């Protein structure tokens, strides 16, 4: 007789695992234990107060994220195990996994619009909504500019019509609170049954957290993660936009405090490629569902085509020899302060026609000096904008609106702000001025520049790579550029590599 693994919902966030054989539970715990990427460099590991592992089963309570049900099934049925799973029905929270058959005709009754014009959801958006509602939880993987906010809006409208609870939408930045609110207002312009001002309440920057009139709450995670569990009781649906940010403890606390949120949906354009990241997100929201890809959207004409030029800057041998063995931060400091490199980037930006976006990582060390260099040489009739974390929400929105009316502007912007907080349609050229090793930030930034320009022009991306290798020793940022090239190949983007000697 095979061993049994009994699963019961503690609430909508956690399952409780029951095994008569403690050995099975120990085996299962090991199966759901992983090293955290980069753990060796973390202070807790260095100080020997943590072993570098994340354990998805709490060995004290035998609890595991409810979204990992499919992985428990895979564990139980693996060759050599053959364990039987028994689902226990909880009188309040129901079975560990339940599905439904939603009536999708509700969408026909909602007059949808964008910029005042009537629209219809694309097939992949309808399929994503149907999948999410059928399973009551899902991690929707869909690239930037694929219309994730419309998917979220439709999920909200279905929930409001079919349930009495409230909806919590969590986003990473104040800009995205306003953007989501604005998108909902745009979609409902011709809908007399939905008033955005009455339906939705925004929380960020110390605003009122207890508005009981609105059934939709759109908030940054920073504004609510310290609130007591009781505050989250009213939410029957929780949605995490840009959900790849939900790996920090403060973010997971929001999702796990939503005990009574039966409906859990995450949206993201990319995952960071690590198993631990994927499993935590799936545990919080549900299994990953691939909505569409950037390449598919480009092929169908929904996104601008992308031409990528990798500009491999070759530095003099004497300099490469001198920098051999430098630490990562020392190499970065050298690159962002290198006069020849920065003037090359400036000249590249000035040579482009159309709106050009220059992305940087370090505000004081790189962004502001680049902005000053460009301002010194730019013609009087060409506008130059600067956007960083210090630019307030209204300022970013102003830049976005002005730029969308421009035809030949230069925007010098922080990659951190731009990758998750600002959308600009009319971008014709992008320059990655700072070396980046962040898989997610990189892909998010690409996605945000592929929205179709009003003039129909394609987008050109200039990826600045730095070759400081000496003999067999390769420098950090050269290795990072190799990783970016792997992403281009994986995503099936067209790219060319050009070697450029830098004096």
Give residue 452's pLDDT.
Answer: 62
Angle at CA of residue 147, ends 358 and 99, nearest 5°: 135
The ranges assigned to domains in the chain are 4-88, 104-292, 303-501
Compute the half-sphere exposure of residue 130: CA atoms within 13 Å on the CB side of its CA.
12
Residue keyed to tokens 């995450």:
266
> Edge to edge, what strands does the sheet with 494-501 contain?
384-387, 410-414, 356-360, 429-432, 459-467, 306-314, 494-501
Give residue 246's pLDDT.
Answer: 60
What is the DSSP track for 219-288? EEHHHHTTS-GGGGTTEEEEEETTGGGTTSHHHHHHHHH-TT--EEEEEES---S-HHHHHHHHHHH-SE
Identical fold for domains 4-88 and 104-292, yes or no, is no
CATH 3.10.20.30: does it fit domain 4-88?
A: no
pTM for the full model? 0.79
**Is the dihedral angle over the CA atoms 273, 238, 248, 31 positive or is it negative?**
negative
CA separation for the pair 455, 463 (Å, rounded): 24
- pLDDT per position as a tens digit, 430-448: 999 987 766 566 666 676 6
Closest-CA residue to 203 (of 171, 231, 234)? 171
| 104-292 CATH fold | Rossmann fold (3.40.50)
CA separation for the pair 294, 269 (Å, rounded): 9
Closest-CA residue to 14 (of 367, 341, 257, 313)? 257
List Cα–Cα distances, 44 to 36, 51, 57, 275, in angstroms.
12, 8, 20, 21
Q: Beta 216-220 vs 200-203: how paired, if at all?
A: parallel
Compute the half-sphere exposure of residue 195: CA atoms within 13 Å on the CB side of its CA.
4
CA separation for the pair 192, 127 (Å, rounded): 26
- pLDDT per position as a tens digit, 480-500: 999 888 888 887 888 999 999
Give residue 396's pLDDT.
Answer: 66
Within 8 A by CB and 6+ apart from 1, the residues are none
Residue keyed to tokens 């090359």:
344
Q: Return the beta strands (E) in 33-136 as ranges.
A: 33-35, 53-55, 57-58, 63-65, 84-88, 113-114, 117-118
Burial class (CB in 10 A: 0-12, 13-18, 19+), 460: buried
Give residue 96's pLDDT.
Answer: 96
CATH 3.40.50.2300: does it fit domain 303-501?
A: no
Q: What does residue 104 show for φ and ψ, rounded to 5 degrees?
A: -80, 0
Q: What is the pLDDT along the chain (503 residues), one digit of tens a residue?
A: 578 999 999 999 999 999 988 899 999 999 999 988 788 888 889 899 999 998 999 989 999 999 999 999 999 999 889 899 999 999 999 999 999 999 999 999 999 999 899 999 999 999 999 999 999 999 999 887 788 999 999 999 999 999 999 999 999 888 889 989 999 999 999 999 999 999 999 998 777 787 778 999 999 988 999 999 999 999 999 999 987 766 567 778 899 999 999 999 999 877 766 666 788 889 999 999 999 988 888 888 777 778 899 999 999 999 999 999 899 999 999 999 999 999 999 999 999 998 898 999 888 999 999 999 999 999 888 989 888 877 666 666 666 666 677 788 898 988 877 665 555 667 889 999 987 766 566 666 676 666 666 666 778 999 999 999 999 999 999 999 998 888 888 878 889 999 999 97
H-run or E-run covering 472: none
Give residue 244's pLDDT.
Answer: 72
CA separation for the pair 246, 222 (Å, rounded): 12
Q: Are 18 and 62 in contact (CB under 8 A)?
A: yes
CA separation for the pair 318, 306 (Å, rounded): 36
């Amino acid at each position: 007789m095979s061993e049994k693994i009994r699963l019961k919902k503690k609430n909508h966030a956690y399952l409780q695992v029951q095994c008569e054989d403690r050995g099975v539970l120990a085996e299962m715990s090991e199966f759901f234990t992983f090293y955290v990427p980069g753990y060796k460099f973390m202070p807790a590991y260095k100080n020997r107060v943590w072993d570098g592992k994340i354990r998805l089963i709490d060995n004290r309570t035998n609890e595991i994220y409810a979204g990992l049900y499919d992985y428990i099934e895979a564990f139980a049925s693996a060759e050599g195990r053959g364990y039987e799973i028994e689902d226990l029905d909880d009188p309040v929270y129901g079975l560990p996994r339940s599905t439904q058959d939603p009536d999708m005709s509700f969408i026909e009754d909602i007059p949808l619009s964008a910029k005042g014009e009537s629209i219809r959801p694309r097939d992949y958006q309808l399929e994503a909504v149907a999948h999410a509602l059928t399973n009551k939880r899902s991690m929707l993987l869909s690239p930037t500019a694929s219309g994730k906010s419309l998917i979220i809006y439709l999920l909200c409208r279905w929930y409001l019509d079919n349930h009495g609870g409230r909806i919590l939408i969590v986003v990473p930045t104040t800009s995205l609170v306003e953007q989501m609110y604005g998108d909902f207002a745009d979609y409902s312009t011709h809908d007399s049954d939905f008033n955005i001002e009455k339906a939705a309440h925004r929380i960020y920057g110390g605003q009122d957290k207890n508005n009981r009139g609105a059934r939709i709450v759109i908030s940054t995670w920073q504004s609510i993660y310290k609130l007591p569990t009781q505050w989250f009781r009213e939410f029957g649906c929780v949605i995490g936009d840009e959900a790849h940010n939900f790996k920090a403890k403060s973010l997971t606390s929001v999702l796990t405090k939503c005990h009574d949120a039966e409906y859990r949906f995450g949206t993201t354009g990319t995952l960071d490629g690590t198993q631990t990241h994927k499993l935590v997100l799936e545990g919080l929201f549900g299994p990953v569902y691939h909505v569409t890809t950037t390449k598919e959207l480009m092929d169908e004409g929904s996104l601008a085509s992308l031409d990528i030029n990798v500009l491999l800057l070759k530095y003099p041998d004497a300099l490469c020899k001198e920098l051999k063995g430098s630490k990562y931060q020392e190499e970065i400091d050298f690159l962002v302060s290198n006069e020849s490199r920065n003037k090359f980037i400036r000249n590249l930006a000035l040579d482009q026609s159309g709106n050009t976006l220059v992305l940087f990582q370090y505000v004081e060390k790189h962004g502001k000096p680049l902005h000053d260099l460009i301002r010194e040489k730019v013609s009087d009739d060409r506008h130059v904008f600067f956007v960083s974390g210090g630019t307030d929400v209204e300022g970013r929105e102003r830049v976005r609106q002005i730029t969308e009316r421009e035809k030949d502007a230069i925007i010098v912007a922080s990659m951190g702000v731009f990758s998750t907080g600002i959308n600009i349609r009319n971008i014709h050229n992008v320059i990655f001025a700072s070396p980046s090793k962040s898989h997610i930030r990189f892909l998010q930034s690409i996605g945000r520049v592929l929205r179709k320009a009003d003039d129909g022009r394609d987008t050109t991306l200039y990826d600045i790579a730095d070759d400081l290798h000496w003999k067999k020793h390769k420098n950090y940022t050269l290795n990072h550029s190799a990783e970016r090239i792997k992403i281009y190949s994986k995503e099936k983007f067209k790219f060319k590599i050009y070697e450029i000697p830098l004096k």
